């Protein structure tokens, strides 16, 4: 099939590369000439495991193309995906300017019937708005569909190639059959293609992300309760997750969710509910709990060292909001670092891939080190934000030698409480008993 993807960001590029991999002829469009030139060379502007290699391979084999020519790309393909950004507006709602602009561009360029699929995350009713925007610019028919993405950063290729399900919001059988054929190579193991109306598909995306966000915030609230009662959140998590009706996923406590999806999608769904007269209280609570949880590590540092942190050096492991990405959008680490700096602390940080992005955001306000152990030299404490694999089984003897005080604040519960006690660390984690030598280390 000949396919055009408008937007070459995270979703558009993953979609284009994976569809090209299955033999389709795909054109990805972006309005920035420098970005298009980089993509033609296989260089992508963000980190996603395996994606740069897949893009380069499909470009070399002639199935994946990049251009700034929107009109030419629209005329070249009967199937067009809209995968442009939908950033949050000031009131929390999704900003659809880029989506509607793309729809108008499609309408102006159409020289015959097209199937137009919104891949961007959009609120309910957007398919109708896209249809009307196209109709205002052309007399040709457009079959407008919704096909929300469910890609996890760090695992996008796996999620696209082997999806849990494919959701198709369609209003006619011709579009449904075309999209079933397009996605057939990705569901050979029996995972479902769910066909529904466009409104239901649009709500499905937001509802799924809000449900996952709710599990995270709920377990973080439970972790707070465990801390105040002497319970162990890891045991509670296992007890809850073993219930087949609940399951074990997204029940790990931590320092809150971040990234480009959960925060904005929870807010956008809450805004839509408010506009439609539906009580959004549960979503408001999810957001409030998450924002409070982002302060967990800085609060622990203040409890341990005092309000004034001038003269203290804090080492940070992990900057990205999750492993296997360089995404710093709404990362909990930014909340911690900015607060530590405001209190006078010196911050030295390491992340396997996100330091360039962190430097763009924070500038020279903090120091960066190429190796994770290098941030520890003379530091008063180690703060862990991201559960990167190199942090999971470190050399604890080396950590103790390098730190001025063997104090660890672990926002991801990477280590055993019992092991840290035996190793002589002062150790604070989420929802578990703290290991505090008596008298406290360094006092």
Q: Which residues are catalytic?
A: 261
Inter-residue contact 157 to 54 (CB < 8 Å): yes
Q: Burial code of 282-292, b = ≥16 C-beta within 10 A, e = fewer?
A: ebeebbebbee
Alpha carbons 220 and 252: distance in angstroms, whole number: 8
Runs of H (alpha helix) within 87-232? 97-109, 126-135, 156-161, 173-183, 198-229
The encoded tokens of residue 29 equal 């469009």
Could you tell me whether strands 367-368 and 381-384 are parallel, antiparallel, or unpaired per DSSP bridges?
Answer: unpaired
Give the CB-side neighbour count of residue 144, counting CA atoms within 13 A. Answer: 24
The encoded tokens of residue 262 equal 């959960």
For 118, other C-beta atoms within 10 Å of its C-beta total 28
Q: List phi, psi (to 5°) of 5.
A: -120, 115
Inter-residue contact 386 to 322 (CB < 8 Å): yes
DSSP characters for 33-89? HHHHHHHHTT--SS--TTHHHHHHHHHHTTSEEEES-HHHHHHH-SEEEE-----B-
Alpha carbons 308 and 311: distance in angstroms, whole number: 9
Give the CB-side neighbour count of residue 70, counting CA atoms within 13 A. Answer: 19
Inter-residue contact 89 to 123 (CB < 8 Å): no
Inter-residue contact 245 to 255 (CB < 8 Å): no
């Amino acid at each position: 099939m000949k396919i055009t993807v408008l937007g070459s960001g995270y979703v558009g590029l993953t979609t284009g590369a994976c569809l090209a991999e299955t033999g389709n002829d795909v054109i990805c469009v972006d309005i920035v000439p420098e970005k298009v030139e980089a993509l033609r060379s296989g260089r992508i502007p963000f980190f996603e495991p395996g994606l740069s290699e897949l893009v380069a391979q499909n470009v070399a084999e002639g199935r994946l193309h990049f251009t700034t020519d929107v009109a030419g790309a629209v005329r070249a393909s009967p199937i067009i995906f809209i995968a442009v950004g939908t950033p949050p507006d000031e009131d929390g709602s999704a900003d659809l300017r880029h989506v509607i602009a793309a729809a108008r561009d499609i309408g102006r360029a159409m020289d015959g019937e097209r199937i137009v699929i919104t891949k961007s995350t959009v609120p309910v009713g957007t398919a109708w708005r896209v249809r009307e925007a196209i109709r205002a610019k052309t007399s040709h028919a457009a079959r407008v569909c919704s096909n929300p993405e469910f890609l996890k950063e760090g695992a996008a290729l796996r999620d696209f190639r082997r999806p849990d399900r494919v959701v198709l919001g369609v209003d006619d059988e011709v579009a449904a059959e075309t999209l079933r054929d397009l996605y057939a190579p990705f569901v050979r193991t029996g995972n479902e293609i769910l066909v529904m109306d466009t409104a239901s598909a649009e709500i499905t995306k937001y509802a799924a992300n809000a449900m996952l966000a709710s599990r995270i915030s709920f377990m973080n609230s439970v972790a707070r309760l465990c801390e105040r009662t002497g319970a162990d959140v890891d045991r509670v998590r296992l007890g809850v997750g073993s219930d087949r009706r609940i399951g074990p996923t997204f029940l790990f406590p931590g320092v809150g969710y971040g990234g480009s999806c959960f925060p904005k999608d929870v807010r956008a769904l809450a805004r839509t509910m408010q506009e439609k007269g539906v009580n959004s209280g549960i979503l408001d609570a999810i957001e409030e709990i998450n924002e409070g949880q982002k302060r967990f590590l800085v609060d622990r540092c203040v409890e341990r060292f005092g309000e004034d942190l001038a003269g203290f050096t804090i080492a940070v492991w992990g900057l990205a909001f999750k492993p296997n990405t360089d995404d710093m959008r709404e990362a909990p680490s930014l909340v911690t670092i900015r607060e530590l700096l405001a209190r006078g602390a010196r911050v030295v940080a390491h992340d396997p891939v996100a330091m360039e992005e962190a430097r763009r955001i924070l500038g020279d306000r903090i120091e960066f080190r190429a190796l994770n152990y290098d941030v520890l030299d003379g530091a008063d404490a180690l703060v862990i934000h991201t559960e990167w694999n190199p942090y999971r089984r470190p050399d604890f003897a080396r950590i103790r030698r390098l730190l001025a005080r063997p104090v660890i604040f672990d926002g991801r519960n990477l280590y055993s409480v019992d092991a840290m006690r035996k190793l002589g660390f002062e150790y604070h984690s989420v929802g578990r008993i703290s290991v505090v030598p008596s008298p406290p280390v360094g006092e």
